[in-house]
Amino acid sequence: MEEYLVTDYLESLRIQGRHPDTIAEYGWNLRHFAEHLSGVFAFSFLAADEATIRGYYLAVKERGYASKTVWKKCHAVYVFYEYLRKNGFLLLNPCPDSKAMDGRRARPKAARRAPSRTRGVNVVYESENRLPRSVPDWQSLQQTYTRLKKSSHCWEQRDYAIIDLAYSCGFRRGELHGLNVDDIEQQDPDNVGTGSSIRVKGKGGRERVVPVGPHALKDLLYYVYHIRPKFLKGGTTKALFVSWIGGGRRMNARSINKEFGRLHGKYGFGRGFAPHNLRHAFATDLIRHGAPVQDVSRMLGHKKLETTQVYTRLVPMDLKRCHARYHPRGE
């Protein structure tokens, strides 16, 4: 198998400024594809034809993965072959039509572009063109906060800090993973004042500064000074959220997901309890309470205002009340 092709492709993603976790996941999915090819005695990426790749698509589906995971694995293969075609290794992309990937239902909208415009999908930063049916509200989150604050386990106190920051600042899962302690601009726990702000690097390496309120800042700094040191065990790292592994290694995106799943199983937290849904809750609550969409878009790090406007669909009754109250013909 031509491993150098995968190496060169992943390097091209790095040059494009793609997130390291995105690159790693593309690499993992392509290794999975290579294992499948070897299993069916196809020992070359360049020799794989449409039937072989279609067989891989079907094999992935039969493994019982979630539909979104199926799409990611298949799309990783598609964009890899697009890279090979554009760089002269192949005359045509042998991948089947994109409709064959997963039945079209659970894919991000960006995947429905014409093949010539496909730019790849960031597998760490989830799509926001489609919102979940169930988004946590503040009342349900307060119950979550209460339970975790009472916990005597330091890992659950750390998880509380993750949950609170995801909801208070609207960070993506990959952004939570990438945060460092020195990204917090004000670190004096005795002087939280009116809050502070946090620098975060989002999609495409775009950096933004997001406000953090005094209550969230106070709880975050408590984690930084009293909980986080318990994980380090003599190690040193700039990472904000760390695990027991390696004396305080940075938590990756998968381990954050795993912690959410563990908490859901232990406490039975309601539907929609997932990192990205807390980001949705952040945006929805801001818009529900009258925040301008433009400001919400800046805090979320959206490149286009249209991406933020999908949140207005979650509060149609609020918009109706706004229209009835402020428009001359609203009554």
286, 296 contact by CB (below 8 A): yes
Cα–chain-centroid distance for residue 36? 27
Concerning whether 226 is annotated as a catalytic residue, the answer is: no
**210 neighbors 296 (Cβ within 8 angstroms):** no
Is 203 annotated in the active site?
yes
Single out the residue of 196, 198, 176, 169 nearest to residue 282, CA to CA: 169
Q: Please confirm, yes or no, whether 311 is among the known catalytic residues.
A: yes
**Which residue in the list 31, 302, 313, 323 is annotated as catalytic?**
302
Active site residue 279: yes
Instruction: State the helix-helix crossing angle for 253-267 and 275-288, rounded to 10 degrees.
Output: 80
From 203, 228, 250, 280, the catalytic residue: 203
Q: How many CB atoms lie within 10 A of CB 188?
A: 10
Give the list of residues 6+ apart from residue 207 with CB closer than 8 angstroms, or none.
199, 200, 201
- In the chain, list all ranges with CATH 1.10.443.10: 138-319
CATH 3.50.50.60 matches 138-319: no
Q: What is the pLDDT of residues 259-272, one digit of tens each?
A: 888 887 777 766 66
Strand partners, 197: 211
pLDDT at 221: 92
- Over its length of 331 residues, how does the chain's per-residue pLDDT go in tens digits? 678 899 999 999 988 888 888 899 999 999 999 999 888 777 788 888 888 898 999 999 888 888 888 889 999 999 999 999 888 888 888 898 655 554 444 444 443 333 333 333 333 444 455 555 566 667 777 778 888 888 888 888 999 999 989 888 989 888 999 999 999 987 777 777 777 889 998 877 888 999 888 888 999 999 999 999 988 877 678 999 998 877 788 988 888 888 888 887 777 766 667 777 888 888 888 888 778 888 888 888 887 777 777 666 655 555 566 666 665 665 5
Active site residue 233: no
Catalytic residue chosen out of the listed positions 19, 75, 177, 276: 276
Q: Indicate which residue of 26, 57, 223, 311 is catalytic.
A: 311
Whether 218 sits among the annotated catalytic residues: the reply is no
Contacts for 179 with CB less than 8 Å, ≥ 6 apart = 165, 171, 198, 200, 239, 240, 241
Single out the catalytic residue among 105, 279, 323, 325.
279
